[in-house]
Chain A
Amino acid sequence: MRQVEREKVRTRRGRALRRIAAAAVVTALCLGPGGYRILPQQVRHEAEAYYGIRGTQVVAWLEPYDLTARYLAANDGALLWMNTTFRLWGGWVAGSFGGCRKIVDCSHAAPLYGGVDVLYWSQLAGQSGWAYTLCVFGRIDDPAGETVRISLSYEEGEGRVTLLEEELPRAEWIQAKDGRTYFLQELRTESIAPQSITVGGWMELLDGEGRALYRTWL
């Protein structure tokens, strides 16, 4: 009897080890040559390689929805906005299938750097247009700044149509571990706009008395 038990235990372990080995090989093939990205950070490193930068650190996150990881990474010279989504094929992706990435150059000294990205748009009941959910992000390098005023618009005909105006006071800024000040905010438009617009506009840094210190175009 004892011999039977020993044999069973050994077989069970041997079979498990063989299966683990096979799973490890297949997983390694997926993660290596297959390019399967199992972590959102892998996508950030890919973006770093694409832009030729390195050493970015995540400084802020947006609350995730579904299978998304949305975060702002930064180093001294750039802001890297990553909107990543998990897909069964390929793992975490950005730049396709709904996710995207954006970079803002911070090489040249300025009080404010900013960027904007469209997260998604949705149709409201009874409306013919679309409501946009946007993400604004940036870095503030001027300690005199107290508020960031944001004006987002899109091109229509020969003019621009304002999509959203918002003010982000200092209380909504983020003090990151690197000692710099950032902001990252999800905003939803009240107005209705056509589908597939290119959102632009400007951001302005205001001091405590509401005077504009600097304006950057998006």
Chain B
Amino acid sequence: MSAMADFYDEVLSHIRYATLEERQAIRAELEGHVEDRAEALEAAGYDRAEAQSRSLAALGDPAEIGRALNAQLSPFWLWLGRAAVVVLVLFGYVLLHLGMASLIDLMDYHEPGPVQTVREQLAIRRGTLSEVEPGGEAAYFWRSGQEMQLGENMVRLEAVELVPIMEGTEVYQGRFIFCVYHRDLWQEAAQGFLEYLTVTTETGSTEAEGLGWDKGYQAEGWFKSYRVWVCEALVVPEDTYVDVRCDCYGLQGQMRCPLRWKEGAL
């Protein structure tokens, strides 16, 4: 038995790159060959020890067998497979981390804006934000839907709300609610230019700056595919339109939006 074990060990010692599983399989295969031949020799009248000894001798030089096997077993696929395992473990770990973070985000997720589902988000491209409603103090409210293009993004005046600032006066706080979305549905809507969005009234008495997210419309769509931005400006009945402009980072856009005093009266 010892001679056989030494023979197999000698064969395997010449195979440089083999997994434990492959070594065991080679050993089993060699044992199978030796056993088959030994059984045949035993049937021919040899005793067990002699039959095994002759079987081993018939296989040839173990070093030569080992070298031949080593040449056949290319390490290329072995190392490629191992490299793939490294990548798999690394990115698997990252994916697990990202997945956990996303899960936590999802559990905490609360959509504060007017649009909550992808289906409704799609509707932005077709209609107005369905849940933008006038506030209790509003004297005028209407949905606009007017749009201008800024680079790859669209700026859409969703709705206008006019709130009297003082009883007995004809001066209103105009709140202009904009929705920004990318022309490509699955691209993130830009945000960086919103602070450059200005609303100027016809009489030129006021120019509004964006109020940002602090007026209850701080919405970002699913995957940030749209954003809502609010500008405020003082408006008087003499104003029949406002000019909405943006001019920054090489992006230029302007639209004139009529003030619908008659239609919008509440």
Tell me whether A and B are bound partners: yes
Contact of B77 among A13, A35, A75 (CB under 8 A): A13
Using a CB-CB cutoff of 8 Å, which residues 105-154 of chain B contact chain A? Answer: 150-153
Query: Any chain A CB within 8 A of the CB of B235?
Result: no
- Which chain B positions have C-beta within 8 A of A46? 188
CB distance from B36 to the nearest CB of A (A): 12
**Is there contact, CB below 8 Å, between A26 and B91?**
yes
**Most chain A CB atoms below 10 A, which of B29, B91, B151:** B91
**Contact assessment for A30 and B88 in the assembled complex, using a CB-CB cutoff below 8 Å:** no
Interface residue? A4 (CB, 8 A): yes
Please, how many angstroms separate the alpha-carbon atoms of A53 and B92 in the complex?
34
**Alpha-carbon distance A107/B150, docked complex (angstroms):** 13
- Stretch of A14-22, A164-172, A184-192 that contacts chain B: A14-22
Closest chain B CB from A97 CB (angstroms) = 13
B53 at the A interface (CB under 8 A) = no
Contact of A16 among B77, B97, B248 (CB under 8 A): B77
Additional pairs, 10, CB under 8 Å, beyond known A12-B73, A16-B81, A50-B188:
A1-B33, A12-B77, A26-B91, A27-B91, A49-B182, A51-B249, A52-B152, A54-B152, A105-B196, A105-B249
**Residues of A bordering B, CB below 8 Å:** 1, 4-5, 8-9, 12-13, 15-16, 19-20, 22-23, 26-27, 29-30, 34-36, 46, 49-54, 75-78, 88-90, 103, 105-108
B residues adjacent to A (C-beta < 8 A): 22, 25-26, 29, 33, 65, 69, 72-74, 77-78, 80-81, 84-85, 87-88, 91-92, 94-95, 97-99, 101, 150-153, 182, 187-188, 190-193, 196, 247-252
Q: Which 8 A-B pairs have the closest CB atoms?
A: A77-B250, A52-B190, A51-B192, A16-B81, A19-B84, A5-B72, A78-B249, A23-B88
